[in-house]
Structure 1
Amino acid sequence: MNNQTPRPSTAPEVGEWQFSGTKDVQTTCADWSLASVGNIQGVELKLITNVLTDDGTLTEIYRKDWRLDDLPVEQIFQKIMSPGSISAWHAHRQATDRLFCGYGRVKVILYDARKHSPTLGLLSIHRLAIERPSLLIVPPGVWHGVQAVSDSPAIVINAVDIAYSYEDPDHWRLPSNSAEIPYQFKHRA
């Protein structure tokens, strides 16, 4: 799912509640499609339907004819994340990531730091899970962090358009608690 950080809303009148809160933003439409709240330019989210078979389910992860982008797939890799673990922050100057959660649940936080982007400074949160498969396209220049939020390990599969260069990595990092990105991960107890 895609949503922005919850924003303050008009608080209930004094005396109506004992304490104030933060109003949720819309994440789902009446037809169960995901609401397009705070989309970062170039980010795409493709909901995928599982095919039920006699022996389980089949899930397509990527198809060229979905027309999400016209880029090649040069490398596919998986990352197994322990429950509660955080992999952040990452960005690429040239490579596009295509993220898919093959098992468990993850929260993917995106932050647009591209100087000439119309969505510069926008933060968006996406939840990827085995229960509702989807493919998230993350363009170059968008910082991203991933946190495993299920009680079991999570598997994240990435189908990149430019293979990782061991000699000259197109991989930029910030610590997960960087003050440069307006998001703080909640660490599990």
Structure 2
Amino acid sequence: MMDKIHDLLCVPLKQIIDERGAVYQYLKSTGDTFRGFGEAYYSKVNTNVVKGWKFHKEIHQHFCVPFGRIKLIAYDCRIDSPSYGAIQEIIIDDRENYQMISMRPEIWYSFQALSEPFALLANIINKPHDPAESLNLPLDNKEIPYVWK
């Protein structure tokens, strides 16, 4: 399956749901997208709030939404990439489109919570977070050709 942005993978995940609750699979060390473990964290995003733009120089990310619904926008600024200049919009949620987004370094991204009262984005990264390793841009900028509405 070819995704719009080269090296950005959308991997369907399994849910085991019964009357007692549910188990949501996420990431396995034996999976093709696993790049090592550095840190895991959650980002709570209130309804309609947009976070981003963010860019990692070295960190490989694995996004998943265990609660709620998020729209993720990715922008490929890598000049040597076959998808240079591409923008990809992905909906991730805990019900209809439960998946992991595996994103290599050097791709800009931003996301918005579409669910009420919030959405929870999980992220497993291959290195411990280092603020000097990432870049940020305001939502309204001249670098990324996407306008949040």
TM-score range, shorter chain: over 0.9
Indicate the percent of aligned positions where both proteins have the same amino acid. 19
Give the Cα separation in 1 of the matches to 2:63 and 2:89.
Answer: 13
Please name the residue that 2:14 is paired with: 49
Aligned to 2:79: 115
CA-based RMSD: 1.4
Structure 1 consecutive aligned stretches of length 4 or more whose deviation exceeds 6 Å = none
Larger RCO of the pair (alpha carbons < 8 Å, separation 6+): 2
Q: Which residue of 2 aligns with 1:66?
A: 31
Alpha-carbon distance, 1:179 to partner: 2.3
Q: Whose radius of gyration is greater, 1 or 2? A: 1
> Residue type of the partner of 1:64?
S
How many residues in Structure 1 have an aligned counterpart in Structure 2?
148
With structure 1 as the length reference, what TM-score do the two structures score?
A: 0.74
TM-score under structure 2 length normalisation: 0.93
Q: Which residue matches 2:43? A: 79
Q: 1:80, CA displacement in angstroms? A: 0.5
Task: Find out whether 1:178 has 2:103 as its counterpart.
Answer: no
Contact 2:57 2:106 in 1 (8 A): yes
Paired residue secondary structure (2:30): helix
Once residues 42 and 78 of structure 1 are traced to their aligned partners in structure 2, the CA distance between those partners, rounded to angstroms, is 23
Higher strand share: 2
Q: CA deviation at 1:66?
A: 2.6
Whole-Å Cα distance in 2 between the matches of residues 173 and 52 of structure 1?
Answer: 38
SS at match of 1:65: coil
Unaligned runs of 5+ residues in structure 2 are none
Is 1:104 equivalent to 2:68 in the alignment? yes
